[in-house]
Amino acid sequence: MKIAVITVSDRASSGVYEDASGPAIAAVFAARCPDAIVEREVVADGVDSVYGALLRHADADWIVTTGGTGPSPRDLTPEASAKYCDRAMPGIAEYLRARSLAETPFAVFSRGYAGMRGAQYVVNFPGSVKAAAFHAELLAPLLEHGVAMALGKGH
C-alpha cells in the first residue's frame, strides 16, 4: 500500500517554519502500517498547488492532506480535493469530524473533504500537529480494508 501525505501551508512551503504535521502523520502510518510506503510533499495553499500535488501522487492508494481545511480565504484544500475526485466519501469526513468534535468544539471549523478518484482515496486532515496525528490514528485501521473494497475485494 502506498500513502502520500501532502502538507498544505504557505509558510511551511516557503521555509518560514518547518512542517510538523506531515511528519506526525507519516510516523503514525509507519507505526500502524509497517508495510506501507509513505511519501511526503509540502505545497502552498490554493486550489492549483494542491490539485497539482494530488496529480503528482496519482499512483498512491491513499492521499492524505494536512492543512488548508479551515474557513480562512486561503484554505482551499477541500475545493482542490473535490475537483480532483470522481466521487465523495462523506462517511470518512463525517467520522473524522465527529471524533474530533468529542475532543474540541473548534472542530466545527473543519471543512475536511474525503473522496475517491478511481480506486484512490483522498482525505483532508486539519493542519495542527495534534489534530493531524489524531486523524491518522483514526484512519490507520481503515486503510487496508479501504483498498480492498476499492478493488472489489472487501466483502
- Write the CATH number for 93: 3.40.980.10
> Which helix (H) or strand (E) is 29 found in, with range?
helix 21-32
pTM for the model stands at: 0.97
Is residue 84 one of the residues assigned to a domain? Answer: yes
What does the buried/exposed string (b/e) look like for 21-48 if buried means 16 or more CB atoms within 10 Å of the residue's CB?
A: bbbbbbebbeeebeebebebbbbbbbbe
Mean pLDDT of 91-102: 97
Is residue 50 one of the residues assigned to a domain? Answer: yes
* Model confidence pLDDT, tens digit, residues 80-95: 999 999 999 999 999 9
For 132-145, give the DSSP string.
Answer: HHHHHHHHGGGHHH
Q: Give the number of domains in the chain.
A: 1
CA atoms within a 13 Å half-sphere pointing along the CA-CB vector of 129: 7
Grid cell 512551503 in the structure block, residue: 13
Is residue 78 one of the residues assigned to a domain? Answer: yes
Is residue 90 one of the residues assigned to a domain? Answer: yes
Domain that holds residue 48: 2-150
Is residue 145 one of the residues assigned to a domain? Answer: yes
Is residue 155 one of the residues assigned to a domain? Answer: no
